[in-house]
Structure 1
């Protein structure tokens, strides 16, 4: 039996955390929560996650820093990072991808779209490197 994918939700806004946690659990995922960047850094150092849903603007350590920290760990290379941010300027989005994000969704976002994207990110690659069409 395989274990459910483990998702880390990182946001300092309690209502967003609650709704994302409900959504992810309802879809069968294990969920952990970090309420700020410092908790997120500790969580990714302690546990391997399949997906990290990451806010950018937090009071202590921002999401860009958390993402770069995660990308510097070879043992976390498979972790997918999705930025969920109110910062929707092209430069902010670009900075998110440069920090190592797999996906960047601007708030407010569609929960249905988020679930579709999370499921896509968790799918094994149907074409191993060098193979395919």
Structure 2
């Protein structure tokens, strides 16, 4: 089978040359371009199976320009964009242009090669599934909780209190139900928080388990990180028309639940301090 012809576009010479060598070693027939102009010339004169392009480049045009040209000249080619700092408006345009993948740099080389091969096997995308933030969190609850637990396991202060996975994470399924409900509601940001019985119970439970207030805050911070990592992994499927308000709502709801948990935590502390 002939090697897949791949056009690699990046203004960073080090990345360009390094990926050129790596991709050739993995069996790709690589053509490189350091500018959008050079890439467009290549696209107009050659046939490619894959486009792998940086999204952000100096000068006229960017990765989206290259994607558009490739779609027009080589409609059967799969298109993959690389971005160090994904911008919401740019990513939204990439989706509209039917870019097949948006990958975030830095990325493990083996993962990149696997992503290219998987996309080649699947072929170019013509119909993309676009999902709301709520839907993504709803279907990714279990994996997000797993990601959160991995972060917790690396935090010595939290792991100093021995606890099973269930005891440590048992409150999170309800948190995600509340997040999804909040995202699908019309509640305005900054309005009075909705009472959460689960958050109140969580604060009391954590006090009895021996958590400090600082540990509660750190645990909540890790939850936000895990949720946002989940959204990052699903960047290509997000409905960008509502993503900003979705991210703000997530932060607001998690902070609201932390505030309610801390309130019950402190109330339990007062009870503990009362004379027997």
TM-score (norm 2): 0.42
Report deviation, 1:124. 5.8
Aligned counterpart, 2:100: 102
Give yes or no for contact 1:67–1:99 (8 Å, CA) kept in 2: yes
How far, CA to CA, are the matches of 1:95 and 1:82 in structure 2? 14
- Partner-residue secondary structure (3-state), 1:72: helix
Superposed CA offset, 1:4-56 (max 9, x none): 11111000001111121111111011110000000010001111111111112
Superposed CA offset, 1:46-91 (max 9, x none): 1111111111222222111111122223xx1111110011232444
How far, CA to CA, are the matches of 2:5 and 2:55 in structure 1? 20
How far, CA to CA, are the matches of 1:17 and 1:6 in structure 2? 16
- Partner-residue secondary structure (3-state), 2:55: coil
Aligned counterpart, 1:63: 63
Deviates further, 36-45 or 107-116:
107-116
Report deviation, 1:104. 0.4
TM-score (norm 1): 0.83
Gaps of 5+ in 2: 124-276
Aligned counterpart, 1:87: 85
Quick check: which one's strand share is greater?
Answer: 1
Please identify runs of 4+ aligned residues in structure 1 that moved more than 6 A: none
Quick check: which one's helix share is greater?
Answer: 2
How far, CA to CA, are the matches of 1:72 and 1:50 in structure 2? 13
Counterparts in 2 of 1:124 and 1:94: CA distance versus 1, 3 Å: closer
Give yes or no for contact 2:51–2:70 (8 Å, CA) kept in 1: no
Give yes or no for contact 1:87–1:93 (8 Å, CA) kept in 2: no
- Partner-residue secondary structure (3-state), 1:123: helix
Number of positions where the alignment pairs a residue of Structure 1 with one of Structure 2: 122
Report deviation, 1:110. 1.8
